[in-house]
């Protein structure tokens, strides 16, 4: 199954590449290229077979993916036609969740780091930045991460009408689906600003959980909001900015000291 997932992600990257190439003439930005140092190479099939005139030899290559959660998690259930807002996952697993917003700075070191450590981050992206280089972001899918809506244009949603909130949320989810074939089932409101209308609009887009955060990474700092230590289920916010690589190094050191790992947020929340 793990080899199948890796092969599926590789096929998806190829599909995105072909789609982008076919649309390049319609884009105002430069043609999309991929830095080889920021990609991984995975076997497209779980086994390879070599045949001679006398014998047939089969060897199997296994790709190790992050373990699935033990699901010692309190249930989260949408109610009254609205999504649920979550800022921390109620779990006893020693895991934290890495969420990265916007998509402005596309540092090749960042994606190389995430792929090398196999951190299944959740990327909450806006339309303009995602469309500039979808291949850069799509690499996270090869290690079990996901890409979800952060609205089309990053407005503050609180106070906006239902129709506009729905356009922003559904529009970005649709853009991801068009490019990648599917989108994550989560949503991050810009600035963490939301209201009851946001929850209803998100639910109408097929999103069950609106994700904020309880911890942050910035300028190489791990900000736990005055808590002395990591706790299971912490949701970290950081951004695709120039400090992101340093932020990842800081989080790695903190997790190593306290015995935590990064898990896939979608695995711990309802689809």
- In tens, the pLDDT along 205-262 reads 999 999 999 999 999 999 999 999 999 999 999 999 999 999 999 999 999 999 999 9
Task: Name the average pLDDT for the chain.
Answer: 81
pLDDT tens by residue, 251-266: 999 999 999 999 999 9
- Residue closest to 88 by CA, chosen among 251, 222, 209, 191: 209
- The CA–CA distances, whole Å, from 112 to 46, 101, 126, 204 equal 23, 18, 22, 35
pLDDT at 2 exceeding the cut of 50: no
Give per-residue pLDDT as tens, 76-134: 555 678 999 999 999 999 999 999 999 999 999 999 999 999 999 999 999 999 999 99
Q: Which residue has the tokens 């991460």?
A: 145
Residue 44's pLDDT band, with cuts at 50, 70 and 90, is very low
Whether 104 contacts 128, CB under 8 Å: no
Q: Is the dihedral angle over the CA atoms 124, 126, 128, 129 positive or is it negative?
A: negative
114 against 3, higher pLDDT: 114
Nearest to 187 by CA among 152, 143, 220, 137: 152
Element (H, E) at 13: helix 2-23
pLDDT top residue among 46 and 182: 182
What is the token pair recorded at 101?
A: 């917003």
Q: Is the pLDDT of residue 66 over 60?
A: no
Q: To the nearest whole percent, how much of the chain has pLDDT over 70?
A: 70
Domains and CATH numbers, the chain: 1-76+83-271 (3.20.20.370)
Predicted pLDDT at 16: 58
Beta strands in the chain (DSSP E): 47-51, 56-60, 84-86, 95-102, 122-125, 146-149, 186-187, 209-211, 215-218, 221-223, 235-239, 261-262
* pLDDT tens column, 120-176: 999 999 999 999 999 999 999 999 999 999 999 999 999 999 999 999 999 999 999
> What span, in angstroms and rounded, lies between the C-alpha atoms of 189 and 258?
30
With the CA atoms of 168, 267, 85 and 226 taken in that order, what torsion angle do they form, in degrees rounded to the nearest 10? -110
How many angstroms separate the CA atoms of 156 and 248, rounded?
A: 27
pLDDT, position 15: 54
Q: Residue 256 CB: number of other CB atoms within 10 A?
A: 10
Q: Give the residue carrying structure tokens 């609009």.
A: 201
């Amino acid at each position: 199954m793990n080899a199948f997932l890796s092969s599926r992600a590789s096929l998806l990257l190829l599909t995105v590449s072909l789609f982008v190439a076919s649309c390049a003439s319609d884009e105002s930005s430069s043609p999309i290229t991929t830095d080889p140092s920021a990609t991984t190479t995975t076997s497209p099939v779980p086994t390879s077979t070599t045949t001679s005139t006398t014998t047939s030899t089969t060897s199997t290559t296994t790709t190790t993916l992050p373990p699935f959660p033990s699901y010692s998690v309190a249930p989260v259930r949408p109610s009254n036609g609205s999504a649920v807002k979550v800022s921390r996952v109620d779990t006893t697993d020693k895991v934290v969740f890495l969420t990265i917003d916007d998509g402005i700075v596309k540092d090749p070191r960042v994606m190389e780091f995430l792929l090398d450590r196999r951190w299944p981050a959740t990327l909450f992206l806006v339309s303009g930045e995602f469309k500039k280089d979808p291949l850069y972001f799509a690499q996270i899918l090869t290690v079990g991460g996901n890409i979800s809506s952060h609205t089309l244009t990053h407005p503050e949603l609180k106070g906006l009408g239902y129709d506009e909130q729905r356009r922003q949320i559904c529009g970005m989810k649709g853009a991801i689906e068009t490019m990648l074939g599917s989108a994550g089932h989560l949503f991050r409101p810009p600035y963490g600003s939301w209201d009851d209308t946001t929850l209803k609009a998100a639910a109408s887009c097929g999103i069950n959980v609106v994700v904020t955060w309880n911890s942050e990474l910035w300028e190489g700092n791990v900000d736990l909001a005055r808590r002395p230590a990591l706790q299971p289920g912490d949701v970290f916010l950081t951004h695709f900015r120039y400090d992101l690589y340093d932020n990842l190094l800081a989080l790695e050191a903190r997790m190593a000291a306290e015995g935590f790992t990064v898990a896939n947020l979608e695995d711990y929340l309802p689809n």
